[in-house]
Amino acid sequence: MPMTYVKHETISLKNNSEFNEKWVQEIIANDSSILGLGDLILKDKERIQPHAGRLDLLLQDKDSSKRWEVEIQLGKVDESHIIRTIEYWDIERKRYPQYEHCAVIVAEDITSRFLNVISLFNGAIPLIAIQMNAVKIGESVSLIFTKVLDQTVIGLEDEEEDKEVTDRNYWEQKWGTKATVAMADEILKLINTFSSELELKYNKFYIGLASNGQPNNFAIFRPQKSGIRLELRINKSEDLEQKIDSVGLDMLDYDSRWGRYRIKLNNESIDKNKDFLIELLQNAYQK
């Protein structure tokens, strides 16, 4: 049956007595995917902030340790809304430093003036601005959310690559062991089946990859005392996660900030899953 055109009417929630912020809050709480921020779960709403009021919504990524502090405002965004959003973000990140935090402003009207002001904070403060539009179709109302300012990710691993170069002994002594650092060698052998020029590069916070001195960190390694963590830069995919689970690999989570799957390995899991690991590594390499 062919689809038909239905005329809609844009309405102002602020100037409509039937709606309020709590109504919007409930809509988002029941289906946070409408914000366009990914697969999120509701952690809390009307969350009490010490000496500072209540945070509208606290959302968390389903597959990582990232949290969003969301503030909603009907009508135009204003100075107090910006300050309140940043204040709640700051309180949450200090109370729960084990999580990655991002402030989110949701408003019906984000003017160019305030967008310019908000953008000044972005980078120093992880901040997202979302414009909310309400449309009436017949007797029903729908909400449309449009991201007008995205979070700025400051720097990638490649950009800080040469600031603190270490050596193999540093990783064997400080973070891993000779045996777990050697696991990086075994994974490198798998990589060399499709890219023979790559070699390990020992940085302060991770072991990366380089070709002729130039970083190519589609995969990085973090040796630990009991194994090694492999981090692969691959787009998030449910099908891929099912494959990882089906072969029995220990997938820790998906780091949405850096776009990496984090997988815990040991000698047994490396040896048992060589072909599948080559497939994963090649997938990341070709991205």
Average pLDDT, stretch 225-243? 91
The greatest distance separating any two alpha carbons of the chain, rounded to the nearest whole angstrom, comes to 70
Q: Would you state the pLDDT for residue 238?
A: 86
Q: Would you state the pLDDT for residue 164?
A: 62
Q: In the predicted model, what is the mean pLDDT of the chain?
A: 87
Q: Would you state the pLDDT for residue 123?
A: 65
Helix (H, G, I), strand (E, B) or coil at 102: strand
Among 58-67, 90-99, 140-149, name the one with the lowest average pLDDT: 58-67
Structure confidence by residue, pLDDT tens digits, 18-30: 888 999 999 999 9
* Neighbour-count burial for 170-205, b at 16+ CB within 10 Å, e otherwise: bbbeebbbeebbebbeebbebbeeeeeebebbbbee
**Element holding 44 (H helix, E strand):** strand 40-49
Domains and CATH numbers, the chain: 9-149 (3.40.1350.10), 157-286 (3.90.1150.20)
- For residue 57, list its beta bridge partners: 45, 70
Contact status, residue 250 vs residue 241, Cβ threshold 8 Å: no
**Amino acid occupying residue 164:** E
pTM score of the predicted model: 0.56
pLDDT band of 78, cuts 50, 70, 90: confident
pLDDT band of 159, cuts 50, 70, 90: very low
Token code pair at residue 28 = 């988002």
Residue 157, pLDDT above cutoff 60: no
Tokens 């090694």 -> residue:
228
Residue 156, pLDDT above cutoff 80: no
Distance CA 181, CA 183 (A): 5
Crossing angle of helices 112-121 and 79-95, rounded to 10°: 20
- For residue 122, list its beta bridge partners: 125
